[in-house]
């Protein structure tokens, strides 16, 4: 009896450890995208570029980053007659697993191969020299060493600029004078979102209070943890914030839940793609806007460049001026302040406003 219960405890702990992270993927994979269920790669039969797309943790259906990349891929299938093969990162996977994914794609003759997310930077850097005839792209990527790679494009975004605009929107809409920010992982990339958001908010209301929380310090599971996102956002609403912006990937669904739970007059701001469109009906009235990070544009451009025979290489920055970032207007909640936001956007484009990259 005692022995059995002991075993049961361990088994439960172990299975929690094993499945704890997997469930997020499944959950986000199911709601609000019934029409998008069919992967375009299954039916694509064109004679255009053969694209390899390696998703980050969460995969297609995260309603955020990965889905945005998928949108770009879909556009390429439609406009460029591309065909595609996709892979997906597992939670807590080895660096070697990412490399293997890319190598397998390269061996299959795919070109270009795009890694979605900065976590692919090292893997691409390690793999690319072995396949000089194939072009690689890394969304949010960077070159980890000093040896330049002639066949790799690092597709970066001026997230600080987009965040600046939604920060301004948050400050304009806030009645309590207090707003919040939930980051997935406390790294320099997400700090860039924070910096822009805070600067944008202070530009319209200098004395506004901004609550900043991160789900994880270094563990990338912070991007796939809706429960963690919900806890962080709920705490901020409780402390008096009435607008919370998340830069936490799939964890963001928890932030939206928290906003809906917090009640009328509480707003959440989405990230990467227009999250109003994919949110459940009860959360939609709480999604003020989304900071658009046009991963789809970057993905499409990368594919197109290869298709055109002039592959992108080195660092590419998608900023406000290049339509790489922006904000969404679905739901119409920011219509009344749109002119103010567009003013700010113009000033950033012209260089009149310099948005910081560090908090």
* Shorter beta-carbon distance to another protein: residue 93 or 261: 93
CB of 109 to another protein, least distance (A): 13
* Shorter beta-carbon distance to another protein: residue 23 or 354: 23
Calculate the CA 57 to chain-centre distance.
11
CB of 159 to another protein, least distance (A): 10
CB of 330 to another protein, least distance (A): 28
CB of 61 to another protein, least distance (A): 10
* Shorter beta-carbon distance to another protein: residue 126 or 172: 126
CB of 119 to another protein, least distance (A): 6
- Contact positions vs another protein (CB under 8 A): 3-4, 6-7, 9-11, 13-15, 17-19, 21-22, 25-26, 29, 39, 41-42, 59, 85-101, 103-105, 108, 118-119, 121-123, 130, 140-144, 186-189, 192, 216-221
* Shorter beta-carbon distance to another protein: residue 39 or 261: 39
* Shorter beta-carbon distance to another protein: residue 157 or 333: 157
CB of 40 to another protein, least distance (A): 12
* Shorter beta-carbon distance to another protein: residue 141 or 331: 141
Nearest to 319 by CA among 172, 145, 108, 162: 162
């Amino acid at each position: 009896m005692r022995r059995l219960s002991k075993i049961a405890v361990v088994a439960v702990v172990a299975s929690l450890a094993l499945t704890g992270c997997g469930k997020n993927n499944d959950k986000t994979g199911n709601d609000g995208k019934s029409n998008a269920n069919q992967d375009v790669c299954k039916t694509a039969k064109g004679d255009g570029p053969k694209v390899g797309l390696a998703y980050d943790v969460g995969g297609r259906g995260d309603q955020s980053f990965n889905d945005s990349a998928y949108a770009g891929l879909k556009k390429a299938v439609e406009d460029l007659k591309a065909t595609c093969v996709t892979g997906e990162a597992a939670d807590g996977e080895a660096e070697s697993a990412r490399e293997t994914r890319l190598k397998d794609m390269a061996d299959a003759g795919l070109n270009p191969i795009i890694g979605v997310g900065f976590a692919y930077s090292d893997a691409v850097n390690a793999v690319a020299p072995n396949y000089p005839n194939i072009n690689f792209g890394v969304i949010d990527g960077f070159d980890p060493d000093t040896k330049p790679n002639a066949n790799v494009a690092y597709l970066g975004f001026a997230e600080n600029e987009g965040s600046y605009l939604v920060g301004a929107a948050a400050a304009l809409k806030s009645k309590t004078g207090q707003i919040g920010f939930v980051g997935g992982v406390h790294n320099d990339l997400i700090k860039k979102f924070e910096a822009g958001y805070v600067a944008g908010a202070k530009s319209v209301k200098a004395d506004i209070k901004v609550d900043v929380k991160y789900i994880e310090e270094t563990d990338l599971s912070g991007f796939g943890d809706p429960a963690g996102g919900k806890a962080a956002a709920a705490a901020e609403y409780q402390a008096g914030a009435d607008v919370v912006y998340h830069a936490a990937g799939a964890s963001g669904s928890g932030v939206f839940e928290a906003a809906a739970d917090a009640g009328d007059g509480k707003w959440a701001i989405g990230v990467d793609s227009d999250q109003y469109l994919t949110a459940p009906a009860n959360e939609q009235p709480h999604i003020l806007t989304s900071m658009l990070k046009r991963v789809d544009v970057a993905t499409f451009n990368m594919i197109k460049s290869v298709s055109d025979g002039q592959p992108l290489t080195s660092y590419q920055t998608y900023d406000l001026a290049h339509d790489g970032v922006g904000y969404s207007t679905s739901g119409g909640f920011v219509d009344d302040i749109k002119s103010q936001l567009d003013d700010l956007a113009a000033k950033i484009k012209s260089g009149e406003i310099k948005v910081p990259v560090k908090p």
